[in-house]
Homo-oligomer: A and B are copies of this chain.
Amino acid sequence: MCSSPNGDADTNGVQEMVAVETRQNGMNGSRARNGTAHHHGANGHSFGTQHHNPYAPRASDFLNNVCNFKIIESTLREGEQFANSFFDTDTKIAIAKALDNFGVEYLELTSPAASEQSRRDCEAICKLGLKAKILTHIRCHMDDARIAVETGVDGVDVVIGTSSFLREFSHGKDMSYITKIAIEVINFVKSKGIEVRFSTEDSFRSDLVDLLSIYQTVDKIGVDRVGIADTVGCANPRQVYELVRTLRGVVGCDIEIHLHNDTGMAIANAYTALEAGATHIDTSVLGIGERVGITPLGGLVACLYAANPEYVKSKYNLGMLREIENLVAEAVEVNVPFSNPITGYVAFTHKAGIHAKAILNNPSTYEILKPEDFGLTRYVSIGHRLTGWNAVKSRVEQLGLQLSDDEVKDATAKIKELADVRTQSMDDVDSLLRVYHSGIQSGALEVGQKETLDRLLREHRATQLGTA
């Protein structure tokens, strides 16, 4: 069950809505590729007759695609623009196969116009017979389009800059020129019987009227998908929501979004775009791309899993995530960040006493992601000064020792005292608990006898050194 605020847009709900929509906008239903139609009128106009019923569904209830989306995995395109990237053919094929096994719906590849080897690699990946559809990403230019359609791809992603910044300092073209060339390229790609997407670049700093105008134009000539790109990473979630939702009311085709991560908001922006009706999200493994990159595949999976674990588990082979991240991290010679969602090495480590206590009672208290769904395990850290007696009690039970609550509290006080000097390893903690337990059992120790405990611990260490 999708727990997002508009989470009632489950599959059945969407299909019901489609029936309503297609009656009113039959033209669009046939063209949408994502299995839903949230087309002209989804911005509320088509619900005019229900306007006075306060209990009628709100348009926004039908826009939400948090439980109905596709991933366009761009490690082999955007990821190639990462500073450290140099993928040889074998590496590209290994990454493509791994992502295909994981279950992403699309793989996007570098333009075959970029270099000779780029073209050959694109052709080689098209011939692998993967389940994922293969796309290549080109400038909005007939020369590039002619090369792209010959490679065997399932679709072509076309992009051109539309912000005043890019129009002035990058390609120098005006909107009427952009529209003309866009129509020419789209019609050409369509004539080859393959998918075509048209995206603007730097969309959030483009003139809104220019944007909507060109998207409407390309929608009318039958583009499969329009793309919004936060090329500079300047957007925030509410801006993303507003732009996607506005666009959702203007075009009938699918909506893709590409989000850079310069301010660390690319995961949340992707999630919010789905809430607003986007259908396709661009990702790369570990987010690699220009500068600090784009929405990372693992982070996107984490937030969508949190919203609807069953749906995400049914779509993707989650146990492969760590292996894919390690493959790419090795290829581009970076470390998986310690703080990476899901696979960061501390992602399932619990430390503070109150956290550890609750986690041991019920993992859902402090975990929204189940480590076992990703082939990972939980770890409760207890040998530090923030530890608590409940966590220690759980370890006592794991070791098969019998101690009363007062005895566990007494042992915990000693762990805290030692950990104030240096962090205690699990071995240190276990030794202390065993010494404490045997002291109690033999009658040599009682609760509160600090000096006796210190002597028993010293004797234990001496014995260990003797036998070491």
Contacts and interface: CB of A to CB of B under 8 A. Distances in A.
Contact of A290 (B139, B303, B366, B369): B366
A176 to B, nearest CB: 21
Given A170-B358, A272-B236, A337-B338, A420 B385 contact: no
A307 B234 CA distance: 8
Contact of A169 (B81, B139, B365): B365
A252 interface: no
Residue of A81, A345, A369, A417 with most partner-chain B CB within 10 A? A81
A385 B117 contact: yes
Given A82-B351, A368-B233, A292 B344 contact: yes
Given A170-B365, A236-B268, A337-B338, A110 B292 contact: no
Contact of A358 (B169, B302, B341): B169
Contact of A232 (B262, B349, B368): B368
A346 B264 contact: no
Q: Looking at A237, A269, A349, A416, which has the most chain B CB atoms within 10 Å of its CB?
A: A237
A357 B334 CA distance: 27
Copies of this chain, count: 2
Interface string A360-377: 011011111100000000
Given A165-B362, A368-B234, A349 B265 contact: no
A28 interface: no
A73 B362 CA distance: 30
Interface stretch (A123-131, A145-153, A180-188, A238-246): A238-246
B287 A339 contact: yes
A352 interface: yes
A282 interface: no
B166 A365 contact: yes
B369 A262 contact: yes
A153 B422 CA distance: 26
A34 interface: no
Contacts of A379: 83
A231 interface: yes
Dominant secondary structure of chain A at its interface with chain B: loop
The residue among A80, A291, A345 with the most chain B CB atoms within 10 A of its own CB is A291
Contacts of A337: 335, 337-340
Contacts of A335: 335, 337-338
Interface in A280-294: 286-288, 290-293
A299 to B, nearest CB: 4
A364 B165 contact: yes
A347 interface: yes
28 contacts: A5-B242, A80-B386, A86-B423, A114-B416, A115-B385, A115-B416, A115-B417, A115-B419, A116-B417, A117-B420, A161-B358, A170-B365, A233-B306, A234-B368, A236-B268, A236-B275, A237-B268, A237-B272, A238-B275, A263-B267, A263-B306, A264-B267, A265-B268, A265-B271, A267-B268, A291-B346, A291-B366, A337-B337
List the 4 closest pairs (A to B, CB-CB), nearest first: A268-B268, A337-B337, A264-B299, A263-B303
Interface of A: 4-5, 80-84, 86, 110, 114-118, 139, 161, 165-166, 168-171, 202, 231-234, 236-239, 241-242, 261-265, 267-269, 271-272, 275, 286-288, 290-293, 296, 299, 302-303, 306-307, 334-335, 337-341, 344-352, 354-355, 357-358, 361-362, 364-369, 379, 381, 384-386, 416-417, 419-423
